[in-house]
Amino acid sequence: MAEKKSKKDSIGIRMKGCHTNNGFVENEDVLEKDLDPGSPANSPQHSIVGIVGPEEPDLKNIQPYAGMPKEVLFHFSRQARYRVPREVLFWFTVASMLALTGATIAIIIISPKCLDWWQAGPMYQIYPRSFKDSNKDGNGDLKGIQDKLDYIKTLNIKTVWITSFYKSSLKDFRHGIEDFREIDPIFGTMKDFENLLAAIHDKGLKLIIDFIPNHTSDKHAWFQLSRNRTGKYTDYYIWHNCSRENGITTPPNNWLSVYGNSSWHFDEVRNQCYFHQFTKEQPDLNFHNPDVQEEIKEIIQFWLTKGVDGFSFEAVKFLLEAKHLRDEAQVNKTQIPDTVTHYSELYHDFTTTQVGMHDIVRSFRQTMDQYSTEPGRYRFMGTEAYRDSIDSTMMYYGLPFVQEADFPFNDYLTRLDSPSGNSVFETITSWMKRMPEGKWPNWMTGGPDRARLTSRLGKEYVNTMNMLVLTLPGTPITYYGEEIGMGNILAPNLNESYDVTTLLSKSPMQWDNSSNAGFSEGSRSWLPTGTDYNTVNVDVQKTQPRSALTLYQELSFLRANELLLSRGWFCYLGTSGHFVVYTREMDGMDRILLVVLNFGESSQLNLKDMISSIPTKVRIRLSTSSANRGSEVDTQAVMADKGEGLILEYSTESPLHYEPGFRDRCFVSSRACYSSTFNILYSLC
């Protein structure tokens, strides 16, 4: 055993000079010898592995080969023909990475802000009781809206706006809320709402809802606790001492309700008067009380947690009243004070737009911003500017560094009672001139409390008005039924307490020519349908190439796919008789869309007098008269029928907003420039 072990331990390994083996082992000269057993070298204590150091390899005539050791590899890697390409490739990679990073940063810097969802397409306002009845009780409901979402999608709508559906006593069109966290049974259940919201989001749409923070119903739990002076609820409403003798109340001052007569009502339980800006069934909340503000904040959070995408805050100008309770000044100072009973007979300096009101509205914005941090889930905020002047309305946009509403709803076009090019022109330009820089406009043609287009202006102007709002800059807002030209109904007799003058525009949506216009399969509907429902309905118009519905769909499709309309410049050329004329153009694009709208009788217009550089012939891109589409017109003699609208297109190298004579008449809300070379938008124009 010792001898075998000695042999093993005394192996000597000797390396010859490095010979190329091309990766294969060839004739390794490893000599194993049996040494003399008596030799000292054979002793276990002196077991030796002898390694003869390698000689310096001769690499002059060697070529690179697979599997070469690192000494050989280093030898070749130092040669210029291998080193230079390697270094060039390395620095090219570094330069490419730096260039890519720089390009990415540059694109981010110069890219304009993307339009948000509330800017990207029309809003569609629905009065839920009149849209679609799903359970045959004659009342529209949430399930009915869900059943018609596919129709709404055909309009290229981006946002569904549902007016008040909270639990209510039906006073003043559901604005007297009994519970802000409950769905009124007439519309369905909370589960129905959640299903509708999920379906809206599944369709790629957004949902905003009404919220009226100024007042509640007198049946609300807060009011019942307040009239009994229960704890913190004692001052949730505005109470004041007043005298009452022989059934006649002497109010604290001369303040009037919007609907007329005193805005103070005596409550026999509390033995005081409470303040109401609207009906006596709608007592005003006391927003000077921090607890009330906190309650409203929690309600906003409740619905945002549900997943709603935004709110329309109604009647916010009434949130605060002066604490001093001084009489408001009469418009006619010679009028006998006891005869002042109409709201318009006083200047409402102490009951509207008080100091601190905008701070409360901004607090709503701050609450909503807490839910806007998730990408793609920005929460929209709109405000109603009830009968305000345009200057007062602009205050709801906020301050330069303090955001308030995304926009106050612009209902000034809904106040036009007769077709007039000058009136339309003045309404548009007064908004655009006063709107703060960088803010976003919007345009409404109707609403639950306004007469419908057909009844206000005439059916000839329905298409013209739809073309107007869908080609102006900003967000168009369509009240249900305006896309098919529905009109007002005759005043019906109802057992419910309504302002009858605003009932007429709330008739059931006209879906087809069946019973109840397809709105309900029940025996009757809560309001009668329009008498023209046999011809003015969705089912008929969707098959007619010249119908109001078809034109609306074409206009909304054009808007969605035309950069000139979605974010281009707006330049108004003025009015010529009954015509309203303006252009939509964009930096970097060599073409212009020119919109011509006739709000009068058939007449001729010379566009050369307005734009000297316009070509002699231009193409009709879209017209309210399908017979004219695609043809060319002579710009010195553009003929338009009564109520006709034209979208003309022509090429140019000099947009109007570059010309000194037009600079004061051109506006842009979200400026962007187009690069035809890279097919991108950029902001450094």
For the chain, give the percent of residues with pLDDT over 70: 89
Inform me whether the pLDDT recorded for 307 exceeds 80: yes
Look-up of token digits 């694109």: 107
The burial of 93, by beta-carbon neighbours within 10 Å (0-12 exposed, 13-18 middle, 19 or more buried), is given as exposed
The whole-number pLDDT of residue 496 equals 54
In DSSP notation, 265-307 reads EEETTTTEEEE-SS-TTSPBB-TTSHHHHHHHHHHHHHHHHHT
Q: What share of the chain is helix, strand, coil (3-state, %, to 5)?
A: 30, 20, 50
The two structure tokens encoding residue 238: 């505005």
Inform me whether the pLDDT recorded for 51 exceeds 80: no
> pTM (2 decimals)?
0.86
**Of 19 and 179, the one with more pLDDT:** 179
Q: Are strands 398-399 and 402-403 parallel, antiparallel or unpaired?
A: antiparallel
The whole-number pLDDT of residue 25 equals 41
The whole-number pLDDT of residue 375 equals 80
The two structure tokens encoding residue 161: 């706006």
Q: What is the mean pLDDT of the segment spanning 376-399?
A: 93
Inform me whether the pLDDT recorded for 36 exceeds 70: no
Q: What is the mean pLDDT of the segment spanning 211-228?
A: 97
For residue range 585-627, list pLDDT tens digits in order: 999 999 999 999 999 999 999 999 999 999 999 999 999 987 7
CB 441 within 8 A of CB 539: no
- The pair phi, psi for residue 61, each rounded to 5°, is -105, 20
In DSSP notation, 552-620 reads HHHHHHHHHH-HHHHH-EEEEEEEETTEEEEEEE-BT-SEEEEEEEE-SSSEEE-GGGT-TTS-SEEEE
Q: What is the mean pLDDT of the segment spanning 623-649?
A: 91
For residue range 475-499, list pLDDT tens digits in order: 999 999 999 999 999 876 665 555 6
Weakest mean pLDDT among 64-68, 111-115, 436-440:
64-68
**Of 595 and 77, the one with more pLDDT:** 595
Average of per-residue pLDDT values in the chain: 89
